[in-house]
Structure 1
Amino acid sequence: MQNHAAHFISGLPRSGSTLLSAILKQNPRFSAGMSSPVATLFNAVLPKMSGASEYASFFSEDRRRRVFDSLFKAYHHDELERGKWVFDTNRTWTAKLPLLHQLFPRSKVICCVREVPWVIDSVEMMVRRNPTHVSGIFQGKTSRNVYGRVKDLMDAERGLIGLPWGSLREAWFGEHADKLIVIRYESLVSNPSAIVRQLYERLGEKPFNHDFENVGYQEEEFDRRLGMPDLHTVRRKVEHIGRPTILPPDLFMKYVDMNFWENEKLNTKKVCVL
């Protein structure tokens, strides 16, 4: 099976994955964007080929791998045909490192992270900027306050933040942690040139002169349908913009100890953190 030219972008929401993709796509050798449906396609097909299906006996290990390989190749066909490196983004990739290791043994998974209270704060800011919308990320629930919203966001099985946080932690301590490259949002927006240069070095790529003054990116139709306009809008200039949190102090402090990537004692697998 061909090892396609691919890397993956994952990690926490509101932590720079869309920004990073917007930066990388400036390089004509790369293809990158917001979250793609490839991981969702994998999730949909897997039960049909395994013990959850009556057809499981028709699938050998090689056949399963070929199906996954074909899905990836079909979705990214145009970019791969043009010889581009594909950076496929999805927050669930960190929960699938064993599968990615089998399918793409040379690939890396770039994990964008941010201090968890500020991730929550960023989502809440988006909610308040769009008071006439009910976002799909809350499954249509409307009669709630910030405490109810945060409880949903941090749910370990379905939460917008809780699920990818748990998946990242699984990958961090797992047997394929060497595939991870962790990029702090705070570092990326404060010193994009240095962080991107280090990323290129880790990927074994030739340097490219990125323009961090003209990065802009939008997915207006997707964001509108999700009920969260400007969710994936990236400002043209990459810069750090500080502001006070809009969260109640007790909520903010509740999650300040969840940034495990900052604890060197927990980095037992020597994950690269930029």
Structure 2
Amino acid sequence: MSPSPDVHFISGLPRSGSTLLSALLSQNPALVTSGRSSPVAPMILRVSSLMAEGEYAGDFDARKRDRVLRQILDSYYASGTERRVIIDTHRDWCARLGLIDTIFPAAKVICCVRDPIWIMDSLERLIVRDPILSSHLVPIGKRATQHDRLDHLLSADGVFGYAWRVLIEAFHGPFANRLILVDYDYLARYPKATLATLTRELGLPAHDYDFAHVESHDHTAFDQALSTPGLHQLRPKVSYEERRCILPPAVQETLAGGMFWRRPQAGESGARILA
């Protein structure tokens, strides 16, 4: 029997490079990546809740619980188990570092981060690309104005608000040493240095990554289900591009200074920071 592959995770903030990073890592033939958010984290969370309460709670001791939860990921990636490393992506991994510490004790969580101003700018550009504003990233009752859309995206139920809260908790929590924060600007400017550091930190097999010819997984069906075409679309070449921000100045002022991982004391958390 071949040894079980190593397991690591990608999490962090939306519109911060997780799809790009996953696409780059997938060039390595020793790795299998999910490309976008996979169902593994939600499946593990639902099964673990069944183990924790109700009529079946007494059926699972710690060893059986951990074995069953590990096998969810193993089974999902069964076709890629000949690979040496699995890297799964989902925002919820930042909220479940204690679970990762127990069932994947050698795993690291790569957290893709970015200036919140440019995350919200990117989300707004995606949404208004559609003239009838049909994106499911925002409920229909919150789509009328830019301020309504931004308020929802920043709320606890919003795609940014939720990810921001769990990232903050993870960064300041007891398992922060499992985190590797990758700033989008750093990845876009220095992709070779980023991948070299991740190769060392994760113990990945060496590979000569091609940053001029990036091919992503086909996420068309996933993006269409969210009525947000282009959500996971990538440019063919890794590059940093300047652009004009379309957010009102008042919103920019509210979000300014949010890059806590760039503050001098950020390294005290124990997380590895590439910024």
Q: TM-score, with normalisation over the residues of structure 2? A: 0.94
Task: Find out whether 1:176 has 2:178 as its counterpart.
Answer: no
Question: How far apart are 1:139 and its partner, in Å?
Answer: 3.1
Aligned pairs (5 A) from 1:50-89: 50-51=52-53, 53-80=54-81, 82-89=82-89
Instruction: Report the Cα offset of residue 3 of structure 1.
Output: 6.3
Structure 2: which 5+ runs fail to align?
Answer: none
Provide the residue aligned with 1:8 in structure 2.
9
Matched letter for residue 196 of structure 1: L
Contact 1:173/1:268 (CA < 8 Å) preserved in 2? no
Distance 1:22 1:37 in 2: 18
CA shift in 2, pair 1:180/1:142, >3 Å: closer
Alignment pair present for 1:40 and 2:39: no
Aligned to 1:31, what secondary structure does the other structure show? strand
Once the two structures are TM-superposed, the CA of residue 131 in structure 1 deviates from its matched residue by: 2.3
Give the drift of 1:207: 2.7
The aligned residue for residue 199 of structure 1 is 198
Instruction: State the shift of 1:142 in Å.
Output: 5.4
Match of 1:188 in 2: 187
Q: In structure 2, how many angstroms separate the alpha carbons of the residues matched to 1:76 and 1:248?
A: 44
Q: Which residue of 2 aligns with 1:101?
A: 101
Q: Deviations over 1:62-102 (max 9, x none)?
A: 2221221111111111111x133111000110110000011
CA distance in 2, matches of 1:12, 1:143: 21
By how many angstroms is 1:201 displaced?
1.4
Call closer, same or farther: CA 1:49–1:206 in 2, change over 3 Å.
Answer: closer
Alignment CA distance shift 1:87-1:74 (3 Å): same
Aligned-pair CA distance for 1:204:
2.1
Q: Give the structure 2 partner of residue 225 of structure 1.
A: 225
Higher mean C-alpha displacement, 83-92 vs 12-21: 83-92
Deviation, 1:134, is 1.3
Say whether the 8 Å CA contact 1:182–1:273 is kept in structure 2. yes
Q: Is the 8 A contact 2:13 2:113 kept in 1?
A: yes
Equivalent residue, structure 1, for 2:270? 270
8 A Cα contact 1:12 1:111, kept in partner = yes
CA 143–54 in structure 1, closer or farther in 2 if over 3 Å, else same: same
Q: Deviations over 1:131-157 (max 9, x none)?
A: 23512221333552111111111112x
User: Offset of 1:168 from its aligned partner?
Assistant: 0.9
CA contact (8 A) 2:142 2:152 kept: no
Q: Is it true that 1:27 corresponds to 2:28 in the alignment?
A: yes
Q: Distance in 2 between matches of 1:162 and 1:142?
A: 15
Given the superposition, is the C-alpha separation of residues 143 and 175 from structure 1 closer, same or farther in structure 2, using an over 3 Å criterion? Answer: closer
| Residue type of the alignment partner of 1:222 | F
> For 1:205 and 1:83, how far apart are their aligned partners in 2?
11
Which moved further from structure 2: 33-42 or 201-210?
Answer: 201-210
Following superposition of structure 1 onto structure 2, how do residues 142-157 of structure 1 map, counting pairs within 5 Å? Answer: 143-156=143-156
SS at match of 1:137: coil
Q: Distance in 1 between matches of 2:256 and 2:263?
A: 13
Is the contact made by 1:216 and 1:237 (CA closer than 8 Å) also made in structure 2?
no
3-state SS, counterpart of residue 268 of structure 1: helix
Deviates more, 1:258-267 or 1:186-195: 258-267
C-alpha RMSD of the superposition:
1.5
Tell me the SS of whatever aligns to 1:14.
coil
What secondary structure sits across from 1:166 in the alignment? helix
Post-superposition offset of 1:221:
1.4
Tell whether the 8 Å contact from 1:3 to 1:104 is kept in structure 2 after alignment. no
